[in-house]
C-alpha cells in the first residue's frame, strides 16, 4: 500500500492517472458523439434508440458510475496538479514569451478542463436529469433537445464549450502518450496529427447539434 | 567587426538578498553588435564600479556554451531568443537599435534568488547525488570495447549526456518542472550497459528528490525542449516515465 501511495503521490504517478483517466474520457466522448449524431436521423429514429438503451438500464447505470468516478478523479488530480504547479512557479517574467516555446492548447489545460467541468454539471442538471427523472411518461427525447436549443443562449453556450473541448483534446491526446512513456521520433508527430483530427471531429460533431437545432427553430428545413 | 554600434534600453533585475524585494534597474547603453550579452553586463559593471556602486551579480564560467553556469532570462526566454544557444553565446547583433531588453534571473520556487541574477541551483546537485552516477569497483582499467554498444544507442545516450544542467528547462516551464533535466540524466545511463545494474533504483531515487525539492510536474508543453541550449529532447522525459513505472512494477527495487 505504501508503495502504491508513493507512486500515486509522485509527480509522474499523477500524470499517469491523468493520462489513463483522460483516455477513457475521450473514449466515452467518441461513443457519446455516435449516440448524439443519431439526432440527425429524426425524432422517431432517435427516440427509438434512446428507448432501446432503456432495456439495458442496469448496465448503463454501472457504466455511469464508473464514468463519474473516472471524471471526478481526473478533475481532482488535474486541479491538484494545477495547485502544486502554481506553488512551484509563483512568479512570472516581465515579458511573456510563452507563445515562443509552447502551444496555447497545452498552456490552457486547467482553464479548458474547468470550463468542461462547469459545463458538465449544467449539462447533467438540464439534460440528464430531465431524461431520467423528468419525462413524465413521454418518450419524445428528441423534443427535449429541440426545445433546449431553440434558446439561443443554450445553443451558444454548448457551441463555445465544444470548441474548448476540442482545445483540451488537441493537446491531451498526444500528451497522454508522452505521460505513459511513449515517445518516438517518427511516430509522435503522427500521434499529434491523429489527436488534432480526433479533437476536430469531436468538437465539430458535438457543436453541429446546437447549430442544427437552433437553425430549425427558425423554421429551417430539418 | 564593421557594423555600427546600437543603442539599447536594458532593464536588469536587482535584488540585494534572497529576502529583499527585487526591482528592475534601467540602463541606457550604446553597445557593439559584436559584444555578447555577458560582455555588456561586464561593461555595465565596470562603469558601476567606477562610480562606486554595487555591480550586478551574475554567474558565468566558460563563456563558450558548455559549462551551464550562465543562465539569464532575456525578454521572457531562458538564454534569450536564439534557439540552442547559451546566454554567453548570445550576441547583440541579434537585437535592433532601440530595442528594450528585460534581463531577469531564472524564476522558480526551487531556484531561490541569491542576489540580482544569481539563483541557487543546488536542487539539481541534490538530484544528481541521489542517482546521477554509476558505481564501479576499483581495480585495473577494463579493456576498451569489451562491451559493444550499437551506434544508435551510443548516439542517443550522448545526446542525453549533452545536458549541461543549466536549469533553463525549469526556468522555461510554466510549472518549474525539472523533468527534462532528470529525464536526460536518467536516460544517459539507462541507454548504456554500464547503467543497467542501478537503472531502476536510479530513476526512483532521482524522481523522489526532484519531487522533494519543489520542482513542479510536467504538462507536456515542451517549452523546456524549445528553450534548452543543448536541444535535449522530451523523448528523455517519456523514457524516464516508462522506467519509473517499470521500477514500481518490479519487486525489490524500492527503497
Ligand atoms: C470530456 C472531458 C475530458 C477529457 C476527454 C479529458 C482528457 C484529458 C487527457 C487525455 C489529458 C492528458 C493527460 C496527460 O497529459 O497525460 C488531460 C489532461 C488534463 N485535464 Fe482533462 N479531460 C477532460 C476533462 C477535464 C476536466 C473536467 C478537468 C478539470 C479541471 C481537466 C483537467 C485537465 C488538466 C489540468 C490536464 C493536464 C494535467 C497536466 O498535465 O498538468 N480535464 N485531459
B151 and B231 within one domain = yes
What's the rounded Cα separation, in Å, for the pair B194 and A144?
66
What's the rounded Cα separation, in Å, for the pair B42 and B60?
11
Q: Indicate the length of chain A as a whole number.
A: 222
Give the model confidence (pLDDT) of A14-63 as tens digits: 999 999 999 999 999 999 999 999 999 999 999 999 888 888 999 999 99
Domains and their CATH numbers in chain A? 2-218 (1.20.1300.10)
Q: Which of B132, B121, B131 is nearest to B213 (CA)?
A: B121
| CB of B40 closer than 8 Å to CB of B127 | no
Is a pLDDT exceeding 70 seen at residue A220? no
Q: Looking at B52, B84, B114, which one is the last position of a domain?
A: B114
Q: How many structural domains is chain B composed of?
A: 2
What's the rounded Cα separation, in Å, for the pair A43 and B224?
52
B128 and B205 within one domain = yes
B245 and B171 within one domain = yes
Structural domain of B143? 122-251
Give the model confidence (pLDDT) of B92-113 as tens digits: 999 999 999 999 999 999 999 9
β-sheet bridge partners, residue B7: B30
Distance (Å) from the C-alpha of residue B235 to the closest C-alpha of chain A? 5
Instruction: Label residue A191 by pLDDT band (50, 70, 90).
Output: very high
What's the rounded Cα separation, in Å, for the pair A166 and A185?
25
B97 and B58 within one domain = yes
Q: Is residue B139 part of a domain?
A: yes
B94 and B77 within one domain = yes
| pLDDT confidence of residue A29 | 98
Provide mean pLDDT across the span A7-17.
Answer: 94
What's the rounded Cα separation, in Å, for the pair B123 and B54?
28
B220 and B143 within one domain = yes
Q: How many interchain CB pairs under 8 A, A with B?
A: 142
Give the model confidence (pLDDT) of A169-184 as tens digits: 999 999 999 999 999 9
ipTM: 0.92
| CB of B170 closer than 8 Å to CB of B178 | yes
| CB of B9 closer than 8 Å to CB of B100 | yes
B175 and B247 within one domain = yes
| pLDDT confidence of residue B2 | 55
B210 and B169 within one domain = yes
Contact between B102 and A94 using a beta-carbon 8 Å cutoff: yes
Cβ-count burial A5-40 (b if 16+ within 10 Å, e if not):
ebbeebbbbbbbbbbbbbbbbbeebeeebeebeebe
Contact between A96 and B76 using a beta-carbon 8 Å cutoff: yes
Residue A169's Cα: distance from chain center in Å? Answer: 8
β-sheet bridge partners, residue B102: B11
Q: Which of B96, B116, B91 is nearest to B106 (CA)?
A: B116
Give the model confidence (pLDDT) of B110-142 as tens digits: 999 999 999 999 999 999 999 999 998 888 887
B245 and B136 within one domain = yes
Pocket of ligand 1 (CB under 6 A): A 15, 18-19, 22-23, 25-26, 29, 74-75, 78-79, 81-82, 109-110, 113-114, 116-117, 165, 168-169, 172, 175-176, 179; B 219-220
Instruction: Label residue A2 by pLDDT band (50, 70, 90).
Output: confident
Q: Looking at B80, B114, B148, which one is the last position of a domain?
A: B114
Give the model confidence (pLDDT) of A116-140 as tens digits: 999 999 999 999 998 888 888 888 9
Please report, for the domain that includes residue B235, its CATH number. 1.10.1060.10
B209 and B101 within one domain = no
B32 and B108 within one domain = yes
Residue whose grid cell is 562610480: B51
Is a pLDDT exceeding 80 seen at residue B255? no
| pLDDT confidence of residue A222 | 52
Q: Is residue B1 part of a domain?
A: no
Is a pLDDT exceeding 60 seen at residue A187? yes
Q: Is B94 on the interface with A (CB under 8 A)?
A: no
| CB of B71 closer than 8 Å to CB of B58 | no
Q: Looking at B94, B114, B134, which one is the last position of a domain?
A: B114
B219 and B156 within one domain = yes
pLDDT-wise least confident of A21-25, A147-151, B222-226, B251-255? B251-255
**What residues of B are in contact with residue A96 (Cβ under 8 Å)?**
76
Please report, for the domain that includes residue B15, its CATH number. 3.10.20.30
Q: Is residue B33 part of a domain?
A: yes
What's the rounded Cα separation, in Å, for the pair A131 and A144?
8
Is a pLDDT exceeding 80 seen at residue B71? yes
Q: What does the DSSP 8-state code read for residue A41? A: G
Amino acid at each position: 500500500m505504501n508503495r502504491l501511495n508513493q507512486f500515486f503521490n509522485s509527480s509522474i504517478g499523477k500524470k499517469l492517472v491523468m493520462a489513463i483517466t483522460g483516455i477513457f474520457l475521450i473514449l466515452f466522448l467518441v461513443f457519446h458523439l455516435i449516440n448524439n449524431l443519431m439526432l440527425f436521423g429524426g425524432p422517431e429514429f432517435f427516440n427509438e434508440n434512446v428507448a432501446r438503451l432503456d432495456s439495458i438500464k442496469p448496465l448503463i447505470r454501472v457504466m455511469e458510475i464508473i464514468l463519474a468516478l473516472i471524471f471526478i478523479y481526473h478533475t481532482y488530480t488535474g486541479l491538484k496538479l494545477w495547485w502544486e504547479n502554481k506553488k512551484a512557479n509563483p512568479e512570472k517574467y516581465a515579458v511573456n514569451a510563452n507563445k515562443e516555446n509552447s502551444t496555447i492548447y497545452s498552456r490552457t489545460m486547467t482553464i479548458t478542463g474547468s470550463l468542461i467541468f462547469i459545463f458538465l454539471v449544467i449539462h447533467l442538471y438540464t439534460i440528464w436529469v430531465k431524461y431520467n427523472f423528468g419525462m413524465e411518461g413521454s418518450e419524445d427525447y428528441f423534443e427535449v433537445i429541440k426545445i433546449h436549443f431553440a434558446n439561443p443562449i443554450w445553443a451558444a453556450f454548448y457551441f463555445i464549450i465544444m470548441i474548448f473541448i476540442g482545445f483540451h483534446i488537441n493537446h491531451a491526446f498526444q500528451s497522454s502518450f508522452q505521460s505513459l512513456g511513449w515517445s518516438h521520433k517518427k511516430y509522435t508527430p503522427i500521434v499529434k496529427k491523429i489527436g488534432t483530427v480526433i479533437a476536430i471531429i469531436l468538437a465539430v460533431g458535438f457543436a453541429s447539434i446546437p447549430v442544427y437545432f437552433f437553425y430549425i427553430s427558425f423554421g429551417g428545413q430539418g | 567587426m564593421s557594423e555600427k554600434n546600437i543603442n539599447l534600453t536594458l532593464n536588469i533585475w536587482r535584488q540585494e538578498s534572497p529576502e529583499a524585494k527585487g526591482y528592475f534597474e534601467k540602463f541606457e547603453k550604446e553597445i557593439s553588435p559584436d559584444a555578447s550579452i555577458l560582455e555588456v553586463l561586464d561593461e555595465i559593471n565596470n562603469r558601476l564600479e567606477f562610480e562606486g556602486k554595487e555591480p550586478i551579480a551574475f554567474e558565468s564560467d566558460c563563456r563558450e556554451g558548455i559549462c551551464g553556469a550562465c543562465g539569464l532570462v532575456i525578454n521572457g526566454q531562458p538564454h534569450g531568443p536564439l534557439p540552442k544557444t547559451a546566454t554567453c553565446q548570445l550576441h547583440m547583433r541579434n537585437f535592433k537599435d532601440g530595442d528594450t531588453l528585460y534581463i531577469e534571473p531564472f524564476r522558480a520556487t526551487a531556484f531561490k534568488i541569491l542576489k540580482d541574477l544569481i539563483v541557487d541551483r543546488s536542487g539539481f546537485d541534490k538530484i544528481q547525488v541521489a542517482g546521477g552516477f554509476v558505481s564501479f569497483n576499483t581495480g585495473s582499467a577494463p579493456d576498451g570495447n569489451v562491451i559493444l554498444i550499437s551506434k544508435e544507442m551510443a548516439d542517443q545516450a550522448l545526446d542525453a549526456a549533452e545536458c549541461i544542467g543549466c536549469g533553463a528547462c525549469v526556468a522555461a516551464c510554466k510549472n518549474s518542472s525539472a523533468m527534462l533535466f532528470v529525464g536526460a540524466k536518467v536516460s544517459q545511463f539507462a541507454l548504456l550497459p554500464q547503467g543497467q545494474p542501478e537503472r531502476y533504483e536510479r530513476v526512483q531515487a532521482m524522481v523522489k528528490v526532484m519531487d522533494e525539492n519543489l520542482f513542479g510536474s510536467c504538462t507536456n508543453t515542451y517549452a523546456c525542449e524549445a528553450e534548452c541550449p543543448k536541444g535535449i529532447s522530451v523523448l528523455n522525459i517519456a523514457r524516464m516515465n516508462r522506467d519509473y513505472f517499470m521500477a514500481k512494477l518490479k519487486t525489490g527495487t524500492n527503497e
